[in-house]
Structure 1
């Protein structure tokens, strides 16, 4: 498979007496979807934020390999360097779409703003790209000038995804992107994400407590408990033949529901 796109080694992070991350090693390869699963408080969202450079670990390091194959220590990057990564090679989809959108500007403006941050200054091209991406996430492009507040929660999440993907990032971090949505909306959104990930060849770190979502989207699953990885492997193997008692409990609780 070649070298990992992103790899982390021995990540440690404490919040007081709580070990949020306790010796975590994880990696992702180009085009791979890795689901990080576990109950609330397991450390999965903390891990995602450390991998994305949004939080500093107490120890350990995260390496990212750019398109030329050069490795960069994410913690050693300047704040400006991390911002450049996040608006070019990386993207982040928040659980609450409002955290990833500018609510005071139009839907098209939200998508176009990321293009402008990447250096595009052609208004006609930016608007055309925004309209195209609204269509790709199954939104009506005729609503391009409406603000996000006019859209439902599911549509706001679609808009956030369009904003994230318009610059063709290599790696996307998703933190419970279907959390808080109605079940039918979740299903349609997961289908949309799966199609876009396959079409664009994205690498995705996907945090979820939903085993069904992990099965649908992930090539590989990482199971966390109390800040540690207790099991990892190919998605079908982990879900059909869980070996750790905690993973068995997670899977059996879904089957019993």
Structure 2
């Protein structure tokens, strides 16, 4: 077990260590087809949870339900607001949910074009999030954007370039900067390394791991890649046919999987 996983396992889950997000009996049906069914878990401050499974397993449906992008058929999803109150996300008004997405949450898409404005500059992409929380001073906006571009390994000389002039890896790093500049407490990531070359993936994963540790973020990441799950996550939730088949500490689950489906996933990776 790695040190981070041990720390999560030993958290004092008292009134001083309360979950940030609680998912209870969440299901989503598309007519007769199951997207996900009866999913339960909590995520704690500073914890990274990986949701893994093959294509069609229901992991992206679940992520979209949790992040209010897709309303579940049943169940509840409660989030601890900054005032400490636990609120049912689907009892919030639309404006309140949009505000969470712009400020307290981040969402990193697999295709960075879905999370960026491609026809404005890199600096403007980062600055827009800051403006959503009240920043208006142009010099400060530009200075903060420059700082964050540097943190995601984009040169300051590219601040006025549009994302469409960037490589895929640079676009993904810009999307990360855009999401993290407002110091969100919870970040959703949907296959953030998908479609990138292996060497680019490795650099991006190192960057994400460093920022998550530095900022103490809670992250829910969807991935089909168990290597990504092992590198980034404390706990892992394995899905098949819309159902959770196994859930536990990442290292423990990957080193000693109990569910036949998880055993199959792990063995298929080892055989590659």
TM-score strictly above 0.5: yes
* C-alpha deviation, 1:68, in angstroms: 2.4
**Normalising by structure 2, what TM-score?**
0.93
Aligned residue number for residue 91 of structure 2:
76
Counterpart check, 1:134 vs 2:149: yes
- 1:6 equivalent to 2:21? Answer yes
Task: Map 1:77-226; keep pairs closer than 5 Å.
Answer: 77-226=92-241
- Please state if 1:247 is matched with 2:262: yes
In the alignment, the residues of structure 2 paired with residue 199 and residue 13 of structure 1 have an alpha-carbon distance, to the nearest angstrom, of: 35
| Aligned-partner Cα distance in 1 for 2:264–2:93 | 42
1:67, distance to aligned residue in structure 2 (A): 2.4
Partner secondary structure for residue 63 of structure 1: strand
2:251 corresponds to: 236
What is the alpha-carbon root mean square deviation over aligned residues? Answer: 0.7
Unaligned runs of 5+ in 1: none
Deviations 1:97-119 (A, max 9, x none): 00000001000000001101111
CA distances 1:15-55 after superposition (whole Å, capped 9, x unpaired): 12211111111210000000000000001011111100111
Aligned residues: 257
Partner SS for 1:205: strand
- State the 1:164 CA deviation: 0.2
Distance in 1 separating the partners of 2:118 and 2:57: 31
Query: Unpaired segments of 5 or more residues in structure 2?
Result: 1-12
C-alpha separation between the residues in 1 aligned to 2:33 and 2:240? 12
Which residue in the other structure is 1:26 paired with? 41
After superposing on structure 2, the runs of 4+ consecutive aligned residues of structure 1 that deviate more than 6 Å are none
Q: 2:105 & 2:74 partners in 1: Cα distance?
A: 23
Q: CA deviation at 1:12?
A: 1.3
Alignment of 1:31-46 (within 5 A): 31-46=46-61
